[in-house]
Amino acid sequence: MPTLWLDDIGADDLEEVGGKAASLGELTAAGLPVPSAFVVTADTYRSFIEATGIDEELFEAVDVDTDDSHALAEAAERAQELILGTDLPASVREDLLAAYDEMGDADVAVRSSATAEDLPDASFAGQQDTYLNVSRADLLQRVKECWASLFTQRAIYYRKENGFDHDVVNIAVVVQEMVDAEKSGVMFTSHPSTGAPKAILEAAWGLGEAVVSGAVSPDNYVVDRASGEIEEVTVADKRVMCVRGDDGETIERSVPEEKREERVLSAEEIHRLIEVGETVEAHYDTPQDVEWAIFEDEVYLLQSRPITTIDEGSAVPSTDAGRAEPTEAAGAADGGSMQTSSEDIRLSGLGSSPGRVTGTVKIVDKLDNLDKVEEGDIIVTEMTTPDMVPAMKRAAGIVTDQGGMTSHAAIVSRELGVPAVVGADDATDRLRDGQTVTLDGDMGTVEQGASISEDSEEEDVPTVEPHSPVKPMTGTEVKVNVSIPEAAERAAATGADGVGLLRIEHMILSTNKTPSRYVEDHGERAYIDEIVDGVRSVAEAFYPRPVRVRTLDAPSDEFRQLQGGEDEPSEHNPMLGYRGIRRSLDRPEEFTLELRAFERLYDLGYDNVELMLPLVTDAEDVLRAKALMEEVGIDPEKRDWGVMVETPASALSIEGLCEAGLDFVSFGTNDLTQYTLAVDRNNNNVADRFDELHPAVLNLMSQVIGTCREYDVSTSICGQAASKPRMVQFLVDEGVTSISANIDAVRDVQHEVKRVEQRLLLESVR
């Protein structure tokens, strides 16, 4: 039969309906409140591709060299075209629509349930698609789209790498009645780290997508199951909610002001959920991670899976498994052709991100002020921090008193494509809220008023475009730097060969808590999830291109500004102090959680993630970190990993580093330059002495590249200097393996690399 109802499904039907559907069938049979659903069986998918005759062409199309990114992209496109472009047999169409009509005429969720998820020695979880609020008219197309998601680039690559034939993997599809949830969330029936009998509930308004995706910080409730006492209640500021839009799509909306800080769950609702959760745990005889929803005072279970993160040896922390602040939609004000005059210019600084915009000044002197920043405003602040990223995405422009071209404000604004002026000294004193100013991110100026010529037409703020739209072929790989996960799609669109630097610290510091405080408040699982979710969005956007992820590297003065920062050391010069690998090795319990996040990503199939250690001094640092990697289950022989070379000591110790077994080194020229020349890169008084092309810096880099070539260790650069033509010329001449540039410079660097490579080729044959 093309379809089966949940009432007829159990754990023994895994091969026919997939893991998700089998679990829902088990819950239904146990008498638990699961929304009505039918399953389009795996046999239906199989008979579809065979009866229509596309099976041979489908599997032939995906039989490609998955290391060839062009061939992989073409294979995925062709495979999905075959499925989406082929009509369903009439009997299947009729059966699916009849089952839908039998369930009613309400919208449904169309949820993939792949049979490959439980194959031995591999995890295919999260690779297939799910669609919410699907109408009858769209049902058949959405089912086919679920089938087609078996053949994304990542799914094809992962199966090939793990030795699974494409024709052994099937997919079922759950078509389930939508619960138009008024409130929803997740529940751990036991403590997710220790297994203690403490239930933990997260709750937010609207559909559960906002909670499971991390788009909203949910309320958190901790319940002692033995006594039934609600031990902790943490009411979050819930800024967004997922709801059904007018066109049927799931959209994010702002939570009404009066409900943002209102408690979501009453005591009675909490106890009802606990009762249901205990029944689920008893049925499976193991602690469960349950997704739930409440509509018209009725509780519904949407999914349940075993908790896999329980560590019997750990203590029970005070837990609030909340996530990062919600992500706001990026916005930009309209700019235009503007006139300037010297008397109009109010401030001067460094133009750190190109573009010219006019907007309303919003002074941000503390995090509580971020909510007042609306789309199109100009943020004016002493300096930006990772906590400000959601507001920076809304802003049309950014002005800071402090900072240089490598400051947080400069790096993030470039990645977001938001014009910025940094190091403007007294902007927060001289500008005022509500004032209209024009910011020029090329010239580094801020002027009063709009200054738009009357005969000019307004234009949207342009995104940064390369001088040439054509991607050249180069022997030297050209990658891209990414500071925040929100920039992943923009970075991937550059056509870069991968990510040469993804910084973890922005993901962690954006929680506004130090690592130790975050773990204390929310638990180890939530901390790991913060890292996994951030890295995963970038790894997914680039898959299978490599994404090089640097472990935590932030100076102590940044940690001191966060909750829990009072315990951080007070240092005269934090840039020379307690940061990078020295902090990680001194706090192995925190560093181990980062490493567990990498291991989780590998288990999820993101084998394009590479681990990079910052601020190493010598081989001893590397060997100690390597031992911790092995302790958490990361095999250094199977995973690509390496180090940052950003101190003279590491450059001069390069032979010992190579002998430690690493796969690559990457120059951090911002730090390498400041440590070699004794120039604080963020100190405006000596900014003119900061020169990455200084002969001393270049000599160190040349020595490192030469030694690494002898040991067959790849070399790269991910500092600010990678975008400079003279640095590109030097590195290609020296034989560097890859260059990682800022987002707005990738294409120009590609052309510069090609030019240098052509010169070297000509010189070799003359």
The CA-based angle 496-497-500, given to 5 degrees, is 90
Q: Which of 607, 413, 612, 598 is nearest to 502 (CA)?
A: 612
Sheet hosting strand 198-205, strand order edge to edge = 230-234, 219-224, 198-205, 183-188, 288-295, 298-306
**DSSP code of residue 130:** E
Distance CA(571)–CA(564), nearest Å, equals: 16
CA 456 – CA 449 distance, rounded (Å)? 16
Task: Give yes or no for a contact between 25 and 3, defined as CB atoms under 8 angstroms apart.
Answer: no
- Active-site choice (242, 658, 708, 718): 718
SS3 510: coil
166 flagged as catalytic? no
Total residue count of the chain as it appears in this document: 766
Contacts 24+ apart (CB under 8 A), 340-344: 340/438, 340/440, 340/445, 340/447, 340/451, 344/447, 344/448, 344/449, 344/451
Side chain identity, residue 285: D
Of 408, 506, 522, 751, catalytic: 408
- Phi first, then psi: give them for residue 573, nearest 5 degrees: -135, 90
Q: Where are the beta strands (DSSP E) in 153-287?
A: 171-177, 183-188, 198-205, 219-224, 230-234, 240-244, 250-254
Nearest to 496 by CA among 391, 594, 415, 606: 415
Q: Is 718 a catalytic residue?
A: yes
Q: How far apart are CA 433 and CA 422, in angstroms?
A: 18
And the tokens for 262? 């209102």
Give the separation between CA 550 and CA 581, rounded to whole angstroms. 10
Angle at 261 between CA 257 and CA 266, to 5 degrees: 120
Catalytic residue annotation: 408, 718
